[in-house]
Amino acid sequence: MKTICKTISYVGLLATVLPSILVLCGVMQLDTHKTIMWIGMVLWFVTAPVWMKK
């Protein structure tokens, strides 16, 4: 379970920063970038508390 959550968390972090790189490269629109960042935020905050140490 922790491994799954950790994987999803890292996907969330990737979804937080990768879209901005794609925007910078002209590959992604800003609105899409905002949506993916929102999803990445949810993925991170839902799963990170499960495995992150105190």
Cα angle at 51 between 45 and 54, to 5 degrees?
90
User: Kind and range of the H or E element at 8?
Assistant: helix 2-24
4 touches other proteins (CB under 8 A):
no
**Closest approach of other proteins to the CB of residue 1, in Å:** 17
Calpha distance 11→39 (Å, rounded): 10
Which of 4, 30 has the CB closer to other proteins?
30
Question: Using the rule CB under 8 A, which residue among 2, 4, 7, 30 binds other proteins?
Answer: 30
**Which of 52, 54, 50 minimizes the C-alpha distance to 1?**
50
Residues lying near other proteins in the complex (CB under 8 A) are found at 12-13, 16-17, 19-21, 23-24, 26, 30, 33-35, 37-38, 40-41, 44-45, 48-49, 52, 54
